[in-house]
Amino acid sequence: VGPDTLVAIAVERSLEMVIALLGILKAGGAYVPLDSDYPSDRLQFMLEDTNASLLITQSFLQDKLDSLLHSYSGKIVFLDRVLIDNPDFFYHNVKDKHIQNAPVQTLSSYPSTNPTTLTTPLNLAYVIYTSGSTGMPKGVEIEHREVVNYLYYALNQYDAPTFGTTLLHSPVVFDMSITSLFYPLSRGDKLALLQHKLHPDDLLLSLKNNQDITFVKLTPSHLHTLKEELPSLLSPQRLFIIGGENLLQEDIMPDLKKSVASHGLIINEYGPTEATVGCSVFSITSSTSLPMSASIPIGTPISNVQIYILDEQMQPVPIGVRGEIYIGGEGLARGYLNRPD
């Protein structure tokens, strides 16, 4: 594994998942998250499109991923066996389509010092696939410099209490997980992970029963689910970042708006996957005057990012005139994997 090496990872949300992601990045590679609940043909397409020579997964997912594993020609690492120092954790596929042991060095035989890396800010950190709702899924290539630019802004502007706890509840196949995963680890906070198979009430119960959770990233859909309870979940010690979907005024119901005004702890974050998690933010505080529109504003660009509203002739439109959003700057992705566009 080295610069721009793509490593596929199909691991349920767990401590082992975090270890694997950090390991890939520390080795200099870029991770490609796969959801084991995706249809097998979608997973097959993603593996073939990335040409990933290494797949990290868990042994208890073998049945669910059976057809994928037996058609995959690269090396497979079962993460749960690596971490118990099993000498037979490294597997590969053979021509008769059966998975056989390929013993390698055990984990404890490797050095504990930092590996030498040739990775630069221009190398890939991850490739996350779009939903494919308008066609075939596309792999969005995000470089280290784009992730660092976003995280640097978040670390300086998202003023969550120090030494708090961040809740990670979203799948890593969505880039909103970047915030919940790397924001706390970059500032020395704790990271709490919800179990992989979420019950609708798990998020609510976690927030109600764990007052030490100080940083949470949600979608408007999550807000809708928590709507009746959310005012009681707000606290001066808890910061909510809302992203991933259009945030509507109706999502910020009157009682919630009053609670937000007194605490000032909700931020609307806008940004497509191609612009690295979030490229524009709008804070709702006690002095915020919300416009008479259905949607909450997306606010202003983050550091080193430019946003323009242009007409069909690619000219800036006047204030109040509709146009298309064009995004530029440090947050823009390298491109789509294996695609000229």
Better pLDDT: 82 or 92:
82
Kindly state whether residue 314 falls inside one of the protein's structural domains: no
Kindly state whether residue 111 falls inside one of the protein's structural domains: yes
How many Å apart are CA 282 and CA 268, to the nearest integer? Answer: 5
Give the pLDDT confidence of 185-226 residue by residue, as tens digits: 999 999 999 887 767 688 888 888 888 899 999 998 888 777
Q: Mean pLDDT in the chain? A: 84
Give the pLDDT confidence of 13-57 residue by residue, as tens digits: 999 899 999 999 998 999 999 998 888 889 999 999 999 989 999
* Residue 81 per-residue DSSP state: H
How many Å apart are CA 127 and CA 139, to the nearest integer? Answer: 6
Residues facing residue 307 across a β-bridge: 327
Domain holding 16: CATH number? 3.40.50.980
**172 and 288 inside one domain:** yes
**49 and 175 inside one domain:** no
> In whole angstroms, how far apart are CA 216 and each of 103, 170, 178, 200, 309?
42, 10, 12, 16, 30
Domain holding 211: CATH number? 3.40.50.12780
Give how many domains the chain has, as a whole number: 2
Pairing of strands 99-101, 90-93: antiparallel
| Helices vs strands, H then E, count in the chain | 10, 18
Domain extent at residue 41? 6-119
Kindly state whether residue 340 falls inside one of the protein's structural domains: no
Planar angle of CA 47, 49, 50, nearest 5 degrees: 70
How many Å apart are CA 105 and CA 196, to the nearest integer? Answer: 30
Provide the whole-model pTM: 0.88
Give the pLDDT confidence of 257-314 residue by residue, as tens digits: 555 555 557 889 999 999 999 999 998 766 666 676 778 889 999 999 999 999 999 9
**115 and 156 inside one domain:** no
**157 and 277 inside one domain:** yes
**273 and 149 inside one domain:** yes
Kindly state whether residue 329 falls inside one of the protein's structural domains: no
How many Å apart are CA 53 and CA 50, to the nearest integer? Answer: 9
**114 and 147 inside one domain:** no
Kindly state whether residue 311 falls inside one of the protein's structural domains: no
